[in-house]
Structure 1
Amino acid sequence: MSNPNQKSFPVTWDQFHRDSRALAWRLASVGPFDAVVAIARGGLVPAAIVARELNIRTVETVACKSYDHQNQSGIKVLKEISQPVLDLARNGGKVLIVDDLVDTGNTARVVRDMLPGAHFATVYAKPKGRDMVDTFITEVSQDTWIFFPWDLDVAYVAPISGGTD
């Protein structure tokens, strides 16, 4: 987070687990699903929670890299979706794609192209990418940086008033 005007949205493990279960709850009426594809790395945790809650036994991953911390660039696919899951989708199976967040929608667009008929779900969505997903739980503004629990460490924070007590 390099912009001092950027908002921050820290998410604890408890909150993320609740939000991921809420996502599963919403998806229950859309399923059943034959497979879930997690977009690594951020989608791994919510996909595992959703797979458990919806009793989805086929869990696959796709790995994409869209930016380093300074430059957004084209999407590079680091790990493709396995052929059995692609075949399942082509033969009428119902596939769910899960990610933690849709930001600009660039990664979502690439993965959607791989599985055009899949249902796409994220825990959080920003306005630029919101139209790329079918189901999400919480929308945050485009200028909000979400700090996921795996990005955080427990540390002392000074009181707002500046005092020490």
Structure 2
Amino acid sequence: MSLPEKAFPVSWDQFHRDARALAWRLAGLEQTFTAIVCVTRGGLVPSAIISRELEIRLIETVCIASYHDYTDQGETLLLKGISEELKKNGGEGVVIIDDLTDTGNTAREVREMLPKAHFACLYAKPQGVPMVDTFVTEVSQDTWIYFPWDMGFTYQAPIKKAPSDK
């Protein structure tokens, strides 16, 4: 699969504003959240911001890989599950945070683990929208979101993949 033609670059400032906007939306719900389940890796940064804004100290991770080599979304692979404590009562009182829902495959997998949790993300594509409860910005399915950790002045390959100076 080649990268889509449409690009949506997100700066650190914009990402922070969007994460705070998501926190505002969650704070306005008639629901009290006692824990965050962060979908790694994309949900790490927004979870930190949202946990501060909503004063939630309990943060758990669920590690699911779906993008491979930053270009192809493939089969989801569960690398780390959710603690049994948070799965009690179907995840009631838990908010799941991710940066993006694309096809909805990752969200579907996490929802199966926590069917009563509230799923929230910053950005959503049409195929993923039915799988989330709250999001900030919708982009078209053929848009590639460039997150701030992927960019310098141009795209930056992960350090592990960059040629070494040795």
Query: TM-score surpassing 0.5?
Result: yes
- Give the structure 2 partner of residue 84 of structure 1: 85
What's the CA shift for 1:93?
4.0
- Give the structure 1 partner of residue 14 of structure 2: 15
Give the TM-score normalised by structure 1. Answer: 0.86
Ranges in structure 2 where 5+ consecutive residues have no aligned partner: 155-166
Residues 27-42 of structure 1 aligned to structure 2 (within 5 Å):
27-30=26-29, 31-42=31-42
Whole-Å separation in 2 of the counterparts to 1:149 and 1:71: 19
- Give the structure 1 partner of residue 57 of structure 2: 57
Give the TM-score normalised by structure 2. Answer: 0.86
Q: Is the 8 A contact 2:92 2:116 kept in 1?
A: no
Q: Is the 8 A contact 1:32 1:54 kept in 2?
A: no
Query: Between Structure 1 and Structure 2, whose CA radius of gyration is higher?
Result: 1
- Give the structure 2 partner of residue 123 of structure 1: 122
Structure 1 residue runs of 4 or more that deviate by more than 6 Å after TM superposition: none
Output the aligned Cα RMSD: 1.7
What's the CA shift for 1:105?
0.3
Q: Comparing 27-36 with 98-107, which one deviates more in the overlay?
A: 27-36
What's the CA shift for 1:71?
4.5
Q: Is the 8 A contact 1:65 1:76 kept in 2?
A: yes
Aligned residues: 152
- Give the structure 2 partner of residue 114 of structure 1: 113
Ranges in structure 1 where 5+ consecutive residues have no aligned partner: 156-165
For each residue in 1:67-100, what CA deviation from the matched residue of structure 2 results, as whole angstroms up to 9, or x when unmatched? 313544321100111122122x44x740000000
Tell me, what secondary structure is at the counterpart of 1:32? coil
What's the CA shift for 1:107?
0.4
Q: Percent identity?
A: 61
For each residue in 1:94-144, what CA deviation from the matched residue of structure 2 results, as whole angstroms up to 9, or x when unmatched? 000000000000000000000000000000000010110000000000010
